[in-house]
Structure 1
Amino acid sequence: MGVELLNDMALFVEVVKAKGFRRAAEATRVPNSTLSRRIGALEKSIGLRLLHRTTRRIELTEAGRLYYERCRRIVDEARLAHEQLGDMLAQPSGVLRASLPVDFAVTYLAPMIAEFARLHPGIGFDFDLTPRRVDLVSEPFDVAVRMGAPESSQLIARTLGALTPHLYASPGYLARAGEPVNPAELAGHQCLSVMKPGAWTFHRDGRELGVEASSRFVLNSIGLAKRLATLDMGIVLMPAEIVADELGNGGLRRIMPGWQGTPVPVYALTETRLLPAKTQRFIEFLQQRLR
Structure 2
Amino acid sequence: MDRLDAMRAFVTVVNEGSFIRAADRLNLSAQLVSKYVARLEQRLGVRLLNRTTRRLHLTEAGVRYHERARQVLDDIDELESQLDELHDQARGLLRISAPVSFAIRHLAPLISDFQQAHPAVGIDLQLNDRKVDIVEEGFDIALRIGHLKSSSLIARKIAPVRLVMCASPDYLAREGTPLHPEQLARHRYLHYSYMELDAEQGPGRWLRGKEAAFSSNNGDVLVAAAMAGAGIALQPTFISGQAIREGRLRLVLAEHEPAPMGLYAVFAHRQLMASKVRCFVDFMEGYFGDPPYWDRF
TM range (shorter): 0.5 to 0.7
1:2-41 superposed matches below 5 A: none
Deviation at 1:85, TM superposition (A): 5.5
Deviation at 1:257, TM superposition (A): 3.0
Which of 67, 77, 96 is 2:94 aligned to? 96
What is the CA RMSD across the aligned residues, in angstroms? 2.9
Question: Partner residue of 2:230?
Answer: 233
- The SS at the match of 1:124 is strand
1:211 to 2:211 alignment: no
Question: Partner residue of 1:281?
Answer: 279
In the alignment, structure 2 segments of 5+ residues that lack a partner are 1-82, 291-297
Output the CA distance in 2 between the equivalents of 1:101 and 1:141. 14
Output the CA distance in 2 between the equivalents of 1:150 and 1:197. 13
Question: Partner residue of 2:185?
Answer: 187
Per-residue CA distance 1:55-110 (angstroms, 9 max, x = gap): xxxxxxxxxxxxxxxxxxxxxxxxxxxxx956742x42222110000011112333
1:139 to 2:137 alignment: yes
The TM-score with structure 1 as length reference comes to 0.61
Which AA in structure 2 matches 1:212? L
Deviation at 1:249, TM superposition (A): 3.6
In the alignment, structure 1 segments of 5+ residues that lack a partner are 1-83
Which of 239, 259, 268 is 1:242 aligned to? 239
Question: Partner residue of 1:167?
Answer: 165
Any conservation in 1 of the 2:178–2:184 contact (CA below 8 Å)? yes
Deviation at 1:181, TM superposition (A): 2.0
Output the CA distance in 2 between the equivalents of 1:197 and 1:97. 25
Change (3 A) 1:282 1:224: same
Output the CA distance in 2 between the equivalents of 1:248 and 1:235. 17
Aligned-pair identity in percent equals 33
- The SS at the match of 1:242 is helix
Any conservation in 1 of the 2:84–2:90 contact (CA below 8 Å)? no
- The SS at the match of 1:175 is helix
Change (3 A) 1:267 1:193: same
Per-residue CA distance 1:209-257 (angstroms, 9 max, x = gap): 8322532222211122112111211111223222133224432122333
Change (3 A) 1:105 1:97: same
Higher Rg of the two aligned structures:
1
Output the CA distance in 2 between the equivalents of 1:98 and 1:271. 12
1:113 to 2:97 alignment: no
The TM-score with structure 2 as length reference comes to 0.60
Output the CA distance in 2 between the equivalents of 1:263 and 1:167. 13
Per-residue CA distance 1:26-69 (angstroms, 9 max, x = gap): xxxxxxxxxxxxxxxxxxxxxxxxxxxxxxxxxxxxxxxxxxxx
Output the CA distance in 2 between the equivalents of 1:174 and 1:123. 48
Which AA in structure 2 matches 1:161? A
Which of 230, 250, 254 is 2:251 aligned to? 254
Output the CA distance in 1 between the equivalents of 2:110 and 2:199. 30
Change (3 A) 1:182 1:200: farther
Per-residue CA distance 1:113-151 (angstroms, 9 max, x = gap): 333233323322110003343332233211111111325
